[in-house]
């Protein structure tokens, strides 16, 4: 054993020395050839018995019989893997989804950066496996032969060279650059079925097998560099072509956009020329009307209707875009200013409204765009500061001035109809801020002052006649405080009121549907019901011989102001108690003095009286008359005493 070991060590040293000497005497030329200098004859040869110097840089070759025992047994690592569930031919991991073959690394040439000129880091075996997964055909060189356990001598066959043209390379590059779709694919290559995307299939796997070809490494390396550089150039040219194509498409789109813009500009120029012509015609018509006095008789539609119609139909989009409303107002305002001087607002409140309604589309205002406004507790407010349109300026300076003067100087608060008609007719046309200005600063202050000056005792005109017509315009919520003042004034007057005075009923009854039900009931309970109760209690008497009904009729007149419950309780407590007491006394007389026919007639007469006031369905009234019938039945049965 000692001699065998020494012989093997000596042989290893000899082989290493020979390989080192051969490597040192061979100089690579870069294309697979090498230069071998001639041997110097003068140099003495090394004696055979001299021991060669051991090289530290070269790896010693393993012994041919190294690890022969593994053919008949398993290693420790393999046994450990099998205990953990791994089986021969399957991938690593609990489910076998890991790699089967060891990871292979492809060396990058010295001095070359990452992805320099499109250098592909994948090994040949990785490329073959990727093609197999993608379903692409393999070349004869790439076809994998199944391994067999038994050794068999095979004839080495020279691989067939496959050449690709530049067009094929470019086509492959373009195919690789196409975006991957999100299609789902069932992967059945592993131990289990799993769902993967197309992008996962296209993803390159890690290298698995080693490239074993070792002949002419320098030449193959240089040729591979040339091929890679050529392929990189083709890829760059393909990318440049694609970039140029994109630029051409963008330039074409830009050219189309410029063409459309030029067409739009030409159309805009044509419209401007047309508008300029219409403006000249409007100016001429306006001057002619001023010179001939047509302002006084002709309306806006009669003077400018033809030109306005063209603007409305052909230039509807340009009205706001080019501010054509300023053109319309420029010829409208002089006529409006002239005509309003002679306009009697109260006698003809609807003057000019037809022209404004007809050409409303030519007179836009800020109210037309709801997006410019927002709603708060204080009402509708603009989101940002707004500028008056020409139409709003004309109405504010010309129309509103005339209306303000009329309201302040000529309008009588007790005659609301002319002004109510004015506001009703002009509300759809007026800008909102002008309408609110008239309400808040002109009309409401005069109404509030008139209510404060109102005296229910002496005022001959009933207040509801000049307040209620304003309800459709002013709305009840604006007049809520005013209604409170009116109720307070009425309550003060009713302190000295007697139900025999029917004027109070005529004043209060029209407010029943204006006030809320709670306000009406509270007012009646505090100011009316106590007076009615005292009248029935102190002034009304039930006398079959000579019946006086004035006090009862005064109270029944308020039945529309009282609820059914309140009125029924009033009659039950103040009328039927007296009525049943008289009936009981009448039935208690001696049998010779009782005339049941008279009692029957008297009973029916009272029933007819209450029916005439629509109280036959009141449960309190029905109960009172039922109690009367019970008394009469008990008297007939001689049970009255019990």
* Planar angle of CA 586, 591, 596, nearest 5 degrees: 60
Residue with tokens 């309003």: 340
Local structure of residue 573 (DSSP, 8 states): I
At 126 the pLDDT is 75
At 429 the pLDDT is 93
Q: What are phi and psi of 199, to 5 degrees?
A: -65, -35
How many whole angstroms separate alpha carbon 368 and alpha carbon 389? Answer: 11
Local structure of residue 361 (DSSP, 8 states): G
Tokens, residue 476? 């009840």
How many whole angstroms separate alpha carbon 212 and alpha carbon 474? Answer: 100
Q: Quick one: 529 exposed, middle or buried, by C-beta within 10 A (0-12, 13-18, 19+)?
A: buried
How many whole angstroms separate alpha carbon 432 and alpha carbon 361? Answer: 16
CA distances to 252, 264, 269, 626 from 258, rounded to whole Å, are 10, 10, 16, 97
**Three-class SS state of 534:** helix
The H-assigned helical ranges of 155-216 are 166-177, 198-202
Q: Is the dihedral of CA 436, 438, 440, 441 positive or negative?
A: positive
How many whole angstroms separate alpha carbon 375 and alpha carbon 598? Answer: 72
CA distances to 50, 424, 602 from 543, rounded to whole Å, are 167, 58, 11
Q: What HEC string does 378-402 produce?
A: CEEEECCCCCCCHHHHHHHHHHHHH
Tokens, residue 208? 């698995």
**Three-class SS state of 35:** strand
Give the length of the chain.
642
Using an 8 Å Cβ cutoff, are 607 and 625 in contact?
A: yes
At 184 the pLDDT is 62
How many whole angstroms separate alpha carbon 616 and alpha carbon 553? Answer: 16
At 10 the pLDDT is 41
Low-confidence ranges of the chain (pLDDT < 70): 1-74, 89, 94-106, 108, 111-119, 132-133, 140-163, 169-170, 173-185, 187-191, 196-214, 368-385, 640-642
Domain-wise residue ranges, the chain? 293-453
How many whole angstroms separate alpha carbon 194 and alpha carbon 185? Answer: 8
The kind and range of the H/E element at 30 are none
Pairing of strands 194-197, 184-187: antiparallel
**Three-class SS state of 374:** strand
Using an 8 Å Cβ cutoff, are 583 and 624 in contact?
A: no
Residue with tokens 């539609």: 301
Radius of gyration of the chain from its Cα atoms, rounded to whole angstroms: 57
Q: Is the dihedral of CA 288, 294, 299, 305 positive or negative?
A: negative
How many whole angstroms separate alpha carbon 637 and alpha carbon 614? Answer: 33
At 372 the pLDDT is 62
pLDDT tens profile 435-479: 999 999 999 999 999 999 999 988 889 999 999 999 999 998 899
Q: What are phi and psi of 13, to 5 degrees?
A: -65, -40
The kind and range of the H/E element at 194 are strand 194-197
Q: What HEC string does 544-606 produce?
A: CCCCCCHHHHHHHCCCCCCCHHHHHHHHHHHHHHHHHHHHHHHHCCCCCCCCHHHHHHHHHHH
pLDDT tens profile 143-186: 645 444 444 555 566 566 666 777 776 677 666 666 555 556 67
């Amino acid at each position: 054993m000692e001699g065998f070991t020494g012989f093997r060590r000596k042989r290893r040293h000899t082989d290493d020395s020979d390989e080192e000497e051969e490597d040192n005497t061979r100089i690579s030329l870069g294309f697979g050839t090498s230069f071998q200098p001639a041997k110097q004859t003068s140099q003495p040869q090394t004696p055979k018995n001299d021991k060669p110097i051991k090289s530290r840089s070269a790896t010693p070759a393993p012994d041919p019989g190294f690890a022969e025992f593994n053919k008949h047994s398993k290693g420790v690592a393999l046994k450990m893997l099998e205990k953990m569930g791994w089986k021969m031919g399957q991938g690593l991991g609990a489910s076998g989804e890991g790699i089967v073959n060891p990871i292979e690394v492809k060396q990058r040439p010295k001095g070359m950066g990452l992805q320099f000129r499109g250098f592909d880091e994948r090994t040949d075996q990785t490329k073959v496996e990727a093609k197999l997964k993608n379903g692409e055909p393999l070349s004869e060189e790439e076809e994998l032969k199944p391994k067999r356990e038994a050794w068999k001598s095979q004839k080495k066959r020279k691989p067939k060279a496959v050449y690709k043209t530049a067009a094929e390379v470019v086509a492959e590059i373009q195919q690789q650059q196409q975006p991957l779709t999100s299609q789902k694919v069932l992967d059945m290559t592993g131990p289990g079925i799993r769902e993967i995307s197309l992008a996962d299939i296209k993803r390159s796997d890690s290298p698995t097998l080693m490239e074993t070809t070792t002949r002419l490494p320098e030449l193959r390396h240089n040729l591979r560099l040339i091929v890679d550089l050529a392929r990189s150039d083709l890829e760059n040219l393909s990318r440049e072509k694609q970039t140029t194509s994109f630029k051409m498409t963008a330039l074409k789109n830009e050219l189309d956009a410029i063409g459309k813009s030029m067409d739009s500009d030409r159309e805009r120029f044509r419209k401007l020329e047309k508008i300029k012509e219409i403006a000249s015609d409007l100016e001429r018509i306006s001057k002619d009307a001023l010179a001939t006095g047509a302002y006084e008789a002709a309306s806006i539609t009669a003077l400018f209707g033809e030109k306005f119609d063209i603007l409305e139909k052909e230039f509807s989009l340009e009205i706001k875009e080019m501010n054509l409303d300023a053109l319309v107002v420029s010829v409208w305002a002089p006529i409006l200013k002239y005509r309003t001087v002679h306009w009697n607002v109260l006698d003809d409140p609807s003057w000019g409204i037809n022209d404004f309604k007809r050409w409303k589309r030519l007179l836009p205002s800020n109210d037309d765009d709801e997006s410019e406004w927002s709603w708060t507790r204080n009402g509708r407010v603009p989101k940002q500061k707004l500028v008056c349109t020409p139409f709003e300026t004309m109405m504010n300076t010309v129309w509103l001035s005339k209306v303000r003067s009329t309201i302040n100087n000529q309008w009588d608060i007790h005659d609301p109809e002319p002004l109510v008609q004015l506001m009703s007719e002009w509300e759809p046309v007026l800008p909102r801020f002008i309408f609110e200005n008239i309400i808040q600063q002109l009309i409401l202050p005069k109404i509030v002052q008139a209510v404060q000056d109102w005296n229910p005792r002496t005022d001959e005109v009933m207040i509801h006649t000049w307040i209620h017509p304003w309800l459709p315009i002013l709305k009840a919520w604006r007049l809520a405080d005013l209604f409170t003042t009116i109720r307070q004034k009425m309550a003060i007057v009713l302190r000295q009121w007697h139900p025999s005075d029917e004027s109070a009923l005529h004043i209060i009854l029209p407010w029943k549907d204006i006030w809320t039900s709670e306000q009406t009931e509270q007012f009646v309970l505090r100011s009316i019901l106590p007076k009615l109760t005292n009248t029935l209690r102190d002034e009304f008497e039930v006398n079959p011989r000579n019946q006086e009904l004035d006090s009862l009729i005064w109270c029944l007149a308020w039945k529309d102001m009282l609820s059914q419950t309140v009125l029924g309780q009033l009659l039950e407590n103040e009328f039927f108690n007296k009525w049943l007491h008289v009936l009981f006394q009448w039935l208690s007389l001696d049998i010779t003095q009782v005339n049941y026919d008279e009692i029957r007639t008297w009973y029916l007469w009272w029933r007819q009286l209450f029916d005439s006031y629509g109280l036959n369905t009141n449960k309190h009234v029905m109960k009172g008359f039922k109690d009367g019938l019970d008394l009469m039945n008990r008297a007939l049965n001689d049970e009255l005493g019990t």
